[in-house]
């Protein structure tokens, strides 16, 4: 798990594959890896994003680990709110998704490209 202390005083965490052993969170809930906000004062947690593997990119690619929870994982998160015209309470985060199992399409056959991934911009406003 990777975590980052945001400028709003909250901690932002990205969940790695948490399915082995099977009694860990993802193995029990069947929920994909997520981005979480932790309030260090109240100790409250909020899921602010969840990996959606129904969206396969790039075009003509396939996911060869369908049914394997956590095969796509989040890693790395930065609070970039100051770069945007944010509403009160709104946070902008840049995060990455490692899409293990994407091996064909435009990246197929290239020894230097091992798997798919995305750089995503998240907008979160708890208000």
What is the model's pLDDT at position 84?
A: 95
Work out how many domains the chain is built from and give that number. 1
Q: Domain limits at 81?
A: 2-124
**Closest to 35 (Cα-Cα) out of 126, 96, 89:** 96
Q: List, in order, residues 6 or more apart from 4 with CB less than 8 Å away.
A: 11, 12, 13, 77, 78, 79
Check pLDDT > 90 for residue 92.
yes
For residue range 4-62, list pLDDT tens digits in order.
577 888 998 887 766 566 666 666 777 888 888 999 999 999 999 888 887 766 677 88
Q: What is the Cα–Cα distance from 12 to 4, expressed in whole angstroms?
A: 5
pTM of the model: 0.78
What is the model's pLDDT at position 85?
A: 94
Q: Output the 3-class SS for 30-69.
A: CCCCEEEEECCCCCCEEEEEECCCCCCCCCCCCECCCCCC
């Amino acid at each position: 798990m990777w975590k980052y202390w945001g400028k709003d005083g909250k901690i932002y965490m990205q969940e790695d594959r948490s399915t082995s052993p099977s009694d860990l969170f993802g193995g029990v809930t069947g929920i994909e890896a997520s981005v979480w906000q932790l309030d260090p004062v109240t100790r409250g947690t909020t899921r602010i994003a969840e990996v959606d593997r129904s969206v396969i990119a790039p075009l003509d690619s396939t996911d060869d680990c369908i049914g394997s929870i956590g095969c796509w994982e989040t890693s790395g998160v930065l609070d970039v709110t100051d770069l945007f015209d944010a509403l009160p309470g709104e946070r902008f985060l840049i995060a990455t998704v490692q899409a293990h199992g994407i091996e064909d399409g435009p990246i197929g056959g290239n020894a230097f490209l091992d798997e798919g991934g995305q750089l995503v911009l998240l907008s979160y406003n708890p208000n």
